[in-house]
């Protein structure tokens, strides 16, 4: 099935999968940054007593600070981790959903995606032009990993002391989560063929060098080898796929994977 201009097949899967397109009722504000700008904007490290990052001056730093404050996180690196995983979940969901439902994926080049760093979760994304690409694992990996998560990781690490293994673990966790949701939806709607396609594609993606060592995938169940740091949030605990069985009590830093 060819991609339709509004990617309507994604909408029933939920807000992590849906993507605004040029035909969406609400158009993005012209001032919203592209993800390309967010990844390449010069890093702005906050110093004690400095003003909060400006949404237009450094949209990525602004997003991290917003997430950290919403979580009441004691460190901005926790906000960086959670913000990265949230954006990874959106990108994997859109791409995996299109690959399974359409057999092709939209070109999600960072310059084509507008992003609102001040929006609530899940991240609000607008695709300014729908251009079809193949839906094979190599193209999906190139679209999400090479196109987004590698430059996003570099941009975050230029601003915050976040371990690269932790961010790779977040990427694997986000992919597994998207695959589980895709499989649940397909089976609930009597489409075991789509569920199997999601499983097979996810298994291929986890063979990628950037994901292969992030954890253990069994079907769409995943156990990661690192921790996203959410346990350090007040009232937080360990996630369902965490490497820890219970929140650590004394370790100042989680494993990096």
Task: Report the SS3 class of residue 161.
Answer: coil
Residue 219 included in any domain: no
Which pairs from 51-56 meet CB under 8 Å and 24+ separation? 55/117, 55/118, 56/31
Which residues make beta-bridge pairs with 105?
133
Q: In angstroms, how far is CA 231 from the centroid of its own chain?
A: 19
Question: Following CA atoms 238, 244, 246, 249 in sequence, which dihedral angle do they give, to the nearest 10 degrees?
Answer: -100
Phi-psi region of 14 (alpha: psi -120 to 50; beta: other; left: phi over 0): left
Q: Do residues 20 and 126 lie in contact, with contact meaning Cβ atoms separated by under 8 Å?
A: yes
Q: Do residues 230 and 238 lie in contact, with contact meaning Cβ atoms separated by under 8 Å?
A: yes
Total count of domains within the chain = 1
Residue 182 included in any domain: yes
Confidence of residue 55 (pLDDT cuts 50, 70, 90): low
Return the H-helix or E-strand segment holding 122.
Answer: none
Its pTM stands at: 0.91
Residue 15 included in any domain: yes
Q: Which two tokens stand for residue 202?
A: 């996810």
Q: DSSP readout, 4-27?
A: PTT-GGGGGG-TTT--B-TTSSSP
Q: Range of 100's domain?
A: 8-23+55-213
Residue 179 predicted with pLDDT over 90: yes
pLDDT at residue 50 in the model: 45
Summarize pLDDT for 124-155 with one digit per residue, the tens. 999 999 999 999 999 999 999 999 999 999 99
Phi-psi region of 208 (alpha: psi -120 to 50; beta: other; left: phi over 0): beta
pLDDT at residue 248 in the model: 83
Residue 170 included in any domain: yes
pLDDT at residue 247 in the model: 84
Percent of the chain with pLDDT over 70: 89
Residue 148 included in any domain: yes
CA separation for the pair 146, 140 (Å, rounded): 9
pLDDT at residue 221 in the model: 93
CA separation for the pair 76, 67 (Å, rounded): 9
Residue 64 included in any domain: yes
Summarize pLDDT for 109-126 with one digit per residue, the tens. 999 999 999 999 999 999
Length in residues, the chain = 257
Residue 246 included in any domain: no
Residue 248 included in any domain: no
């Amino acid at each position: 099935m060819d991609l339709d201009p509004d990617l309507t097949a994604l909408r029933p899967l939920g807000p992590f999968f849906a993507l605004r397109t040029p035909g969406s009722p609400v158009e993005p504000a012209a001032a919203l940054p592209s993800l390309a700008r967010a990844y390449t904007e010069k890093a702005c490290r906050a110093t004690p007593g400095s003003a909060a990052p400006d949404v237009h001056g450094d949209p990525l730093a602004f997003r991290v600070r917003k997430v950290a404050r919403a979580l009441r996180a004691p460190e901005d690196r926790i906000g960086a981790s959670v913000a990265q995983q949230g954006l990874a979940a959106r990108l994997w969901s859109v791409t995996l959903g299109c690959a399974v439902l359409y057999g092709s994926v939209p070109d999600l080049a960072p310059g084509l995606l507008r992003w609102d760093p001040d929006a609530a979760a899940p991240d609000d994304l607008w695709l300014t032009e729908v251009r079809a690409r193949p839906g094979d694992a190599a193209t999906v990996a190139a679209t999400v990993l090479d196109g987004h998560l590698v430059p996003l990781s570099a941009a975050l690490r230029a601003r915050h002391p976040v371990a690269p293994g932790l961010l790779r673990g977040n990427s694997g966790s986000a992919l597994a989560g998207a695959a589980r949701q895709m499989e649940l939806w397909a089976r609930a709607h009597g489409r075991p063929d789509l569920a199997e396609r999601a499983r097979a594609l996810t298994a291929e993606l986890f063979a990628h060098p950037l994901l292969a060592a992030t954890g253990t995938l069994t079907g769409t169940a995943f156990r990661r080898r690192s921790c996203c740091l959410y346990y350090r949030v007040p009232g937080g605990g360990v996630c369902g796929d965490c490497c820890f069985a219970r929140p650590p009590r004394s370790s100042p830093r989680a494993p990096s994977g």
